[in-house]
Structure 1
Amino acid sequence: MTEQRKSEQTRARILERGRALVLERGFGGVGLKGILAAADVPKGSFYYYFPSKEAFGCALLEGYVTEYVAALDAIIALPQPAATRMERYFNGALGTEAATMADRCLVVKLAAEIADLSEDMRQILDAGVAQVCTRLSALLREGAEDGSVALQSDPERSGAMLYAQWLGAAIHAKLSRNRLPLEQAMEDTRARFFT
């Protein structure tokens, strides 16, 4: 294995293990020492891979947004009615009793924390949310065309508000440690959008 390949794998491991820690404790609650220990990387090596903790946070969020949008795009590409694809996406957010959007989503975990902490990190998350809203709006338009989703007078606004509803439900679920707000968001989504 080349030295460059080994370095890339180590960096990826730092990001992977760091993501788990950040989801558990928040960005401010995780120190470099903890990240390096979780990734089994020698103390003092962090700055070889990232110039700062903020740069680590940016890389973490860029990777997360890329993966999240790719997963959504895979659902959107399915040859099914738009309502079926939307329901599949939101069922993923609803998750299981053990892990819902409230437990796995870095937007839920970090939006309020990093909004005032790092402008670069805030912009990455904001751009990721905008991509998701754009895709939901496209699904709403497709659903109106295929008859599976009620016609929306402003699909862009409706897509953004739909995502905001789910984000709020996820925050509420996290606070209450109860998945009921997400279940209610699913019921409301079906009632308002699906024909």
Structure 2
Amino acid sequence: MPAIHGDTRRSILDAAQRIMAHKGFAAVGINEVLSEAGVPKGSFYHYFGSKDAFGEAMMRSYFADYLADMDRTLAEPGLTSAQRLMNYWQNWRETQGVDECQGKCLVVKLGAEVSDLSETMRLALKEGTTAAVDRLERTIAAGRKDGSLTVDTTDGDPRATAQILYDMWLGASIVAKIHRDISHLDTTTAATRRLLHL
């Protein structure tokens, strides 16, 4: 049975995410992605107008999945907001600790590279990371309300705290990749607990 248009497009995007999480964006050719996806080489431009448009679609697809997973973690029933938030960071630690700290996060892998190559990809990254910080902010605000979280940064402003935490984890993930050492994420976990008084 032939693949449905959306399924083929999704197969290409999924294959690209897997490959580019290890190799980066510029180092991967379209033919390699199509071969991995099992899609005929001549069909790329049927689904994407250019490599730039393809890169933007890949980032948006990545964030759609990432944010859906984040929403599930941050809405897990029967837990306090603090427990949900720490589960999110634990999941981050686990996904960034795989493959000798090479991780699975496209923001960590591609952020600096594609922000210089493509304005549309940079904007997709900006929108996706802003949406992640929005979710952290809401969880911190809920934690203050349910009494499971207290914060002392920027007068306890949930937005500032969310941004500080996200930036700290992103930076620690890059350093963990450089050193191939998970202990950087363990240090960040401890710093997160201190920041949130957990």
Normalised by the size of structure 1, how large is the TM-score? 0.92
Shift in CA distance, 166/105, structure 1 to aligned 2, threshold 3 Å? same
Identical pairs, percent:
38
Mapped partners of 1:57, 1:129: distance in 2: 16
Are 2:32 and 1:34 aligned?
A: yes
- Counterpart-to-counterpart distance in 2, 1:74 and 1:100: 27
Q: Residue 49 of structure 1 aligns with which residue?
A: 47
* Secondary structure at the counterpart of residue 15 of structure 1: helix
Query: 1:102 deviation in Å?
Result: 4.9
Gaps of 5+ in 2: none
The alpha carbon displacement at 1:174 in A equals: 0.7
Q: In 2, distance between residues paired with 1:183 and 1:93?
A: 11
Structure 2 counterpart SS, 1:51: coil
| Structure 2 counterpart of 1:62 | 60
Where in structure 1 are there 5+ consecutive unaligned residues?
A: none
Amino acid at match of 1:140: I
TM superposition outliers: structure 1 runs of 4+ over 4 Å: 99-102
The amino acid of 2:85's aligned partner reads M
Give the partner amino acid of 1:48: H
Instruction: Compute the RMSD of aligned alpha carbons.
Output: 1.7
- TM-score between the two structures when normalised by the length of structure 2: 0.91
Report if the CA contact (8 A) 2:52-2:118 is conserved. yes
- Asked if the contact 1:94–1:101 (Cα under 8 Å) also holds between the matched residues in 2, the reply is no
- 1:132 equivalent in structure 2: 132
Indicate the residue corresponding to 1:94 in structure 2.
Answer: 93
Select 1:164's aligned residue among 146, 158, 167: 167
Deviation readout 1:25-53 (Å, 9 max, x if unpaired): 10001001111111122222111111111
SS in 2 for 1:159: helix
Q: Which SS does the other structure have where 2:41 is aligned?
A: coil
